[in-house]
Structure 1
Amino acid sequence: MGLVMIVFCFFFGRFVHSSQEIQLIARQLKEDQPARVNRHIVLIVQELGHPYWQLVANGAAEAARADQMDIEIVGPVHHSMEEQIQLLEKAIASRVDGIIVQGLNDEKFTPVINRAAEKGIPTLTIDTDAPTSKRLAYVGTDNKAAGRILGQLVVRKTGGSGTIGILIGSESAENQLQRLQGLRSIVSEYKGLRIVDVRASNISAMEAIQQAADMLQAHPDITIMAGTSATDALGILQAAKSMNRSDIAIIGFDDLEETLDAVRQGEIDATVVQQPFWMGATSVHLLRDYFSGKSLPSTLHAQVEIIESNSPDTGRLP
């Protein structure tokens, strides 16, 4: 019996010693493994510092933190399609893990987006689509539908009769042209409505004021003006005030705080509101899903909201 106990203790001791060695080796292997490197993704915005794109960036940054990805937010200081394309090419050359970019012009952006896809870099379009490209998905507003909503607001405000001036953010950006197309499609149904001028603000607040003033000077019979980008309605408002044209009805786009204040005060009659924060966050979450092996929807349209100066909802705006 004593011999059996001695043998048992010997083997038990060997077992304990071996277990400790295994645990030590496991700890060393774990320590030797490189730290997990987060995915590196890039968001290319239309203009750094622009209030609308700042909301997009905020949504993307918050989602990246939640999804444990490193996000780099880049863009031109002043609106430049050529610089956006250069930044897209730079992201491809840097072999980033994923790209989110505005597809401002399908013809110009599609070849570059396709090059990213050929190099295995998943690319999403945001705010403006490049539908013929190899992008994984588009996240943003249905811009033609949003333009039709603008047109319906013009009809509602004028009763189907009036002279219209329109500011668009850019003459080369697909989203702006689609909104204009949608607006025209509604206006064309009413013989009493006439669009007399369309000008571009180049998403600049100062240029929006100048273009609106020039338009009112050239067409004093204008009774209503509409803008298709975030700063247009504010530019129209400032131009109308400087020319003492309080008779001009104004329909805008997006929900900059200054725009909402003007809607509350009845100086801007209505604005069509997008969801830029949601767009930024959703785009990042879609890349996360792609990296996890999930299939993505081809298109995710953001809901839009109409805010009018005579609406009870206006008073509940933040």
Structure 2
Amino acid sequence: MKSQKLNGLIASIAIATASVAAVPASAEGIQCEPGETYIMNVMVSGHPYWVPVYQGFKQAAAAFGCETVFSGTPDYDITKQIASFDQDLVKSPAGILLHPMQSDPFIEPINRAIDSGTQIVTFAADSPKSNRTSYITSDNLAEAKFAAEEIVKQVGDSAEYAVLENPGQSNHDLRVTALIAYMEQHFPNMTLVGRQATNQDSNAAYRATASIIQANPNVAAMWIPEAGSAEGAVAAKLEANSGLLIMHADVTPTTLEHIKAGNIHMSLNPNQGVQGFMGFMAVHLANRSEIFDPFNDWETSGFNPVQVPFMDNGFAVITKDNADNFDLNVYMEGRDPS
């Protein structure tokens, strides 16, 4: 049934796209040519976050007869990710769905790729000053607002709180800065007592959280913009026998188990499969822009007419009650991981 619904959605998109073409076009106009390939490029390629994203990416690509490749670097290193991106371009892919570790260093590589004929869409993190055609992500401002209000709901509006952060990655930056700003505006009696950069390193997060708890024994809550640091934070919390309420974004198998055990209050997790599916749709349609006329000045201005500056893939709230729905091993049963 799910497959039928998905095929129906894809068919509807194909028919709708063809029906508004400047030159009459059939639905087959958005089918891939033999060997046409799209790549998904990420940092820290072994992170479990990418698995459902790539599954959604592959699912959409298969419906159009396209081939896919998963790429990137296993390291948290901007130079190595750019090098992997450049290696991808040597293969002349039709498009790349890219998670840029940092925004500005990717401006030139993205623009160069587009100039060479490879379309680029960013997801989960952005390079907004580049010429990428679309950005697919969850609404980080909405996540921060939800987290702030949930923290206050649980610990009151006159408590101490702390944040860990990952400076330089756009979505993580926004999740932290927006939460602090929301607290200052709406809950002025909430006091920020700790703010430390842990850069997705669980060991650094362990040390930072232990230090914050020791220096601020009344700290009531902590917000973390990603799951890797949450793994270290919860270890420090348990070791200190602290009642610290931990909330974080994203999820890993480790943090999921801690949510089930009640050691982490909840996670706000982007809808990863939607992110990958719509990411493919955006980059594929950018590569098929000639099949429709959007009724704007794209021909005069010289930009790709498939401009979707921001697409919100939504987020799920993971709690002890629904945690079983986010078991990655169950999700991957019967699926091809490659």
* TM-score in terms of structure 2 length: 0.75
1:60 matched to 2:57? The reply is: yes
Q: Determine what percentage of the aligned residue pairs are the same residue.
A: 22
Deviation at 1:176, TM superposition (A): 0.9
What amino acid does structure 1 have at the position aligned with 2:273? F
- Aligned partners of 1:269, 1:240: CA distance in 2, in Å? 12
What amino acid does structure 1 have at the position aligned with 2:285? D
Q: How does 1:303-318 map to 2 (within 5 A)?
A: 303-309=314-320
Contact 2:222 2:245 in 1 (8 A): yes
Q: How does 1:51-200 map to 2 (within 5 A)?
A: 51-168=48-165, 170-189=166-185, 190-200=187-197
Deviation at 1:73, TM superposition (A): 1.2
Question: What secondary structure sits across from 1:115 in the alignment?
Answer: helix
Per-residue CA deviations over 1:67-121 (Å, capped at 9, x if unaligned) read 3222221122121122112222222344222111113433221222111122221
What amino acid does structure 1 have at the position aligned with 2:79? E
Contact 2:123 2:279 in 1 (8 A): yes
RMSD: 2.3
- Aligned partners of 1:78, 1:147: CA distance in 2, in Å? 27
**Aligned match of 2:312:** 301
Deviation at 1:277, TM superposition (A): 2.1
For the pair shown, the structure with the greater C-alpha radius of gyration is 1
Deviation at 1:241, TM superposition (A): 0.8
**Aligned match of 2:40:** 43
**Aligned match of 1:207:** 204
What amino acid does structure 1 have at the position aligned with 2:182? I
Deviation at 1:183, TM superposition (A): 0.5
- Aligned partners of 2:180, 2:217: CA distance in 1, in Å? 21
**Aligned match of 2:278:** 282
Deviation at 1:60, TM superposition (A): 2.0
Question: What secondary structure sits across from 2:92 in the alignment?
Answer: coil
- Aligned partners of 2:101, 2:46: CA distance in 1, in Å? 18
CA 1:317/1:90 → structure 2, altered by over 3 Å: closer, same or farther? closer
Contact 1:47 1:53 in 2 (8 A): no
Question: What secondary structure sits across from 1:51 in the alignment?
Answer: coil
**Aligned match of 2:264:** 268
Question: What secondary structure sits across from 2:118 in the alignment?
Answer: coil
What amino acid does structure 2 have at the position aligned with 1:251? M
What amino acid does structure 2 have at the position aligned with 1:103? P
Contact 1:61 1:71 in 2 (8 A): yes
Higher relative contact order (CA 8 A, sep 6+): 2
Question: Any stretches of 5+ residues in structure 1 without a counterpart?
Answer: 1-35
